Amino acid sequence: MDSSVPDFVLFLGRFHPLIVHLPIGFLFFAFILELYGSWNKNSMLSIPISVALFCGTISAFLACALGYMLSLGGDYDQNMLDTHFWFGIATTIVAFFAWAISSGRLNISKFKYLKTNIATLTLVVFLLSITGHYGGNLTHGSDYLLKYSPFGRKEKVELPTVTHLNEAVVYEYLVNPILEAKCISCHNSSKMKGGLSLQDSLGMVKGGKNGEAFIAGDVDNSEMLRRVMLNSNHKDYMPPEGKTPLTDEEKSILIFWVDKVNADFKLKMADLEASEEITSIASTMLGLEDISGKGGITLPKSQTIDSEVLSEIEDAGFVIRELIFESGLYEIVLVPKSITSKNGDDLEVNLEKLLPIKDRIIWLSLKDNFVQDKHLKTISKFKNLQKLEIEKNPITDSGVSELSASQNITGLNLYQTKITALSFENFTKMKGLQRVYVWGTSITQEQVDNFVSKENRPAIILGI
């Protein structure tokens, strides 16, 4: 805070937003009385009008004085402040003249044909509105008023969606959204509380009155982080009481940005080494649910699925379970023995029903349902599948080869199928594959030992 300004002046200055409503009320009221009086030719109103104008002038003067004191604190954008300042003074002066005219102390005979009373009052209201508007912009920010207006609304510049975490610029995609949600209503370029603006990189680098907000690599001395990390009862704690505090995850992201990204504005996740925790928080923030926990395979973004589509799938005999609430990601189960060799042709038709949500199926279980090789061609289209249970089905090696392009499957259950060791080659093509269950097939322990002895091979699980 500017030390040359005594605290008492600032204390008084803070009453400006309170007092400022008095002249607004008085002067508007005078205007309304004037209109009403001239409409029904009631000359009795001239006294209340001049009283209202008198009170309005005095309180406007007071508001100006207090406003000046408040401005000495220096929390505001200078240009906008100047405009507000001069319009405020103009309003006060014109109001004074309006009072002088209406009370008869000033007689401007030259303008006999002009209704001086109405004219000056109209001017007062006009000036008052402009002053008030600028005042509002100073306190709430210039985009406050029209943010939710139905017309002429500027669409916020949407960041292009990232499909993989590595493409995300840390500042743009992770840091800025947090600041926008929790900080910039008070720290923007027009309302710079504590002299700090977090609206753009310029203001962030500049910092505030109490020092640099972000010091690359130095979490402890970065004023912004110091304040958000304080105990919420501390007087320096940010955001102040009544505003939504930052969550632990948001704090972690900010710390990561200052500490590991050196408060850089351009670096992408790909350029950095992030801990599991950060990857997982970041994935959630971007709607890329992180499943492997290691930032490897990412899930598609949340999306609502039409309930009619789901009903049709359920009618086809599938059980649907949403894996994460309102994510539109599903586990699909066909109850064992729904399909047997007798109605084997139905399966193809049923599987077609799944195609509208093919990218939303993460787990699929078709065990013991007479699944044949041809059906796996359809299943291979489910590109986000991670777990596939197709045990106890007449599947052969050629069926498994259909799956060789499914890179996201981590667990594959082929227990009691007709596959042989020839399928091993296809397993190596499936890059995400970690575990394959092959008990009850012709595959022997020896073949398995031989296969897994090499690097980067999925575990092949046999039984007794």
Task: Give the nearer residue to another protein in terms of CB position, either 53 or 299.
Answer: 299
**Minimum distance from CB of 353 to another protein (Å)?**
14
Backbone angles phi, psi at 240, to 5 degrees: -65, 170
CB of 49 to another protein, least distance (A): 46
Cβ nearer to another protein, comparing 163 with 311 = 311
Nearer to another protein, 257 or 437 (CB): 437
- Angle (deg, nearest 10), helices 78-102 and 46-71: 160
Could you tell me the smallest distance in angstroms from the CB atom of residue 453 to another protein?
14
Rounded Cα distance between 213 and 198, Å, is 9
Please say which residue, 7 or 248, places its beta carbon nearer to another protein. Answer: 248
Contact 201, 322 (CB under 8 A): no
Least CB distance from residue 299 to another protein, whole Å? Answer: 7
Instruction: Give contact residues for another protein (rule: CB under 8 A).
Output: 276-277, 289, 291, 293, 299, 307, 310-311, 314, 319-326, 329, 333, 362-363, 387, 389, 391, 411, 413, 415, 435, 437, 439, 461-464
CB nearer to another protein: pick between 213 and 433: 433
Pick 198 or 376: Cβ nearer another protein:
376
- Closer CB to another protein, residue 171 or residue 437? 437
CB of 310 to another protein, least distance (A): 6
Residue 438 C-beta: closest distance to another protein, Å? 9
| Residue whose CB is less far from another protein, 208 or 328 | 328
Residue 193 or 360: the one with the smaller Cβ distance to another protein is: 360
Task: Compute the least distance from the CB of residue 125 to another protein, in Å.
Answer: 39
Is there a contact between 297 and 167 (Cβ–Cβ < 8 Å)? no
Question: Considering the complex, what minimum distance in angstroms separates the CB of residue 323 from another protein?
Answer: 6
CB of 348 to another protein, least distance (A): 23
Q: With helix as H, strand as E and coil as C, how does the chain read?
A: CCCCCCHHHHHHHCCHHHHCHHHHHHHHHHHHHHHHHHHCCCHHHHHHHHHHHHHHHHHHHHHHHHHHHHHCCCCECHHHHHHHHHHHHHHHHHHHHHHHHHCCCCCCHHHCCCCHHHHHHHHHHHHHHHHHHHHHHHHHCCCCCCCCCCCCCCCCCCCCCCCCHHHCEHHHHHHHHHHHHHCCCCECCCEEHHHCCCCCHHHHHHCECCECCCCCCCCCCCHHHHHHHCCCCCCCCCCCCCCCCCCHHHHHHHHHHHHCCCCCCCCEHHHCCCCHHHHHHHHHHCCCCECCCCCCCECCCCCCCCHHHHHHHHHCCEEEEECCCCCCCEEEEECCCCCCCCCCCHHHHHHHHHHHHHHHEEEEECCCCCCCHHHHHHHCCCCCCCEEECCCCCCCHHHHHHHHHCCCCCEEECCCCCCCHHHHHHHHHCCCCCEEECCCCCCCHHHHHHHHCCCCCCEEECCC
CB of 463 to another protein, least distance (A): 3
Q: Are 143 and 135 in contact (CB under 8 A)?
A: no
Helix (H) or strand (E) holding 330: strand 330-334
Q: Report the residue number, 2 or 314, with the smaller CB distance to another protein.
A: 314
**Which residue, 271 or 314, is less far from another protein as judged by CB?**
314
Least distance (Å) between residue 422 CB and another protein: 20
Give the type of residue at 238.
M
